Structure 1
Amino acid sequence: MSDLGDHEAASLVTDRAAQCTNNTERRAVLALWEGAGITQAAARRQLVEEVLLPILDPRNAGATELALEFLPRLVAPIPQGMKRQIAEAVDRATSASDKLHNKALTVMTGLGYSTTSTGWFGRRRKIRTDPEG
């Protein structure tokens, strides 16, 4: 894929992602994206929107865990204008599972997101989804 331009490589990755039916295939697509070394902002934004965000599925904990595993390596630095979308998708996908929620907090704070306290006595931390978060 190193001979392809960023837009062509991103299109190839998104085409493969659209055909995924299980987490083994999703892992292969995320590894393909990682190996492609795509740096162009529009191509990276396309990948986040068309590959990463759909994998962050609250109905598929395995896919969400996979996305969290790859997230730091794929989105850093976060493409301009994507910070809120990523935070909201991660929050939706992990809110039903304490294990995934805690993993998401670790991953997202590592990417520079801040957290806020919620719930009874402020005991639960939540990823801030505002632009400054």
Structure 2
Amino acid sequence: MAFNVHIAMTWILFLALFPITFFWLRRAWRIAINKDFSEVAIKHGESPPNPEKWAPYEAVINLVAGSITAATIAGVLAGELEYDTWMALAGSTIWCKFFLSFALSRQAHPMNLPGFMQRRISFRPQKPPQDGEEK
């Protein structure tokens, strides 16, 4: 077996699954069991105004993703998963977790738009400006 870039990338992905799994399962534990909401739906380093509302979703995302990667590691070590299968499981899980966490963080934080954009996008009826007021 010759050492090439393909083999190096495979080993890098497989070895990266260990810390990824650890951090995801630890985050799920902190949120669900310890009730530590400091890592829930982070956007620009800040938690949302009501992180306890979004905590169950974040905990489930992390628990499912961590469990899938742990099962993938166990399957590879046991020799039960073929190369294409475990690569697809690992890659899909990583990407789906990132996208779901990103979507949750954007959903949890209110949209902060400048005042003039807020009035244009708002679905609530706005009264027309009076004489001498800004539009």
TM over 0.5: no
TM-score (norm 1): 0.26
Greater strand proportion: 1
Determine which structure has greater relative contact order: mean sequence separation of CA pairs < 8 Å that are 6+ residues apart, divided by chain length.
2
The structure with the largest alpha-carbon Rg is: 2
